[in-house]
Chains A and B, each alone.
Chain A
Amino acid sequence: GEDVEQSLFLSVREGDSSVINCTYTDSSSTYLYWYKQEPGAGLQLLTYIFSNMDMKQDQRLTVLLNKKDKHLSLRIADTQTGDSAIYFCAERALGSSNTGKLIFGQGTTLQVKP
């Protein structure tokens, strides 16, 4: 079945770069997403990438997509303490054109140490 896998925890020092990785199973995914969840809050969309792109950059965020390996990564440059949160990778579910369903990974907790 469809599955999205992420490592559960990442710890970095303030000012370093963070790289959060994700693997997915549905090779027909059209869009892939990164969401951020701050403590006690809902999920907020950080960025997304269309499947015909290899890379997308948005200020401190860089998304890399390797379709051959079904691997998605999110790089945060100059990580700040305010970036501490849970980051979710998501793909559109198979056959979801009429439902919009997304499959989420387990979430990666990013801890930024001062």
Chain B
Amino acid sequence: NAGVTQTPKFRVLKTGQSMTLLCAQDMNHEYMYWYRQDPGMGLRLIHYSVGEGTTAKGEVPDGYNVSRLKKQNFLLGLESAAPSQTSVYFCASSYGGALAKNIQYFGAGTRLSVL
């Protein structure tokens, strides 16, 4: 019962470095999401995907790119990390569909520090 798995769990980057965060789900969900969580700001949507091969921008997409080459995986990339991207990143997935309850299932998070 893995659910949603995020790797890595922790990472420290220097300004300007790049990295990719991996999200994998084993529930055959159509929809996947990347959020960032900052103190006092709740969860903000970065990018999302409604199916394999599709991606769309969320509320705070600048400085991030995503890819969904396989249905079960959703990758979040930082091309040139900035200190403002220090945050906790969460991936989520849901079954999808207009009539669905659309309960989102979350991974455990990736804690990223950019120095």
Say whether B50 contacts A42, CB under 8 Å: no
Max chain B CB contacts within 10 Å: which of A8, A92, A102?
A102
Max chain A CB contacts within 10 Å: which of B43, B98, B101?
B43
Known contacts A42-B107, A42-B108; A88/B42 CB under 8 A: yes
B61 at the interface (CB under 8 A from A): no
Chain A nearest CB, measured from B63 CB (Å): 20
- What 1/0 mask marks residues of chain B from 92 to 107 whose CB sits below 8 Å from any chain A CB? 1010101011111111
Within 8 Å CB of B48, what residues of A? 99, 101
Say whether B43 contacts A104, CB under 8 Å: yes
Query: In whole angstroms, how far apart are the Cα atoms of A101 and B40 in the complex?
Result: 20
Say whether A99 contacts B109, CB under 8 Å: no
Known contacts A99-B50, A106-B40; A42/B96 CB under 8 A: no
Query: In whole angstroms, how far apart are the Cα atoms of A71 and B40 in the complex?
Result: 20
Say whether B42 contacts A42, CB under 8 Å: no
Within 8 Å CB of B31, what residues of A? 99-100
Query: In whole angstroms, how far apart are the Cα atoms of A21 and B46 in the complex?
Result: 26
Say whether A33 contacts B103, CB under 8 Å: yes
Interface range on chain A (Cβ under 8 Å from partner) = 20 to 34
Chain A nearest CB, measured from B59 CB (Å): 9
Say whether A42 contacts B104, CB under 8 Å: no
- What 1/0 mask marks residues of chain A from 76 to 114 whose CB sits below 8 Å from any chain B CB? 000000000000100010001111111011110000000
A43 at the interface (CB under 8 A from B): yes
A-B contact pairs, 16 of them (CB 8 A): A31-B101, A31-B102, A41-B108, A42-B90, A43-B106, A44-B106, A45-B105, A96-B102, A99-B31, A100-B50, A100-B94, A100-B100, A101-B48, A104-B43, A106-B41, A107-B42
Interface residues of A (CB under 8 A from B): 4, 8, 31, 33, 35, 40-45, 48, 88, 92, 96-102, 104-107
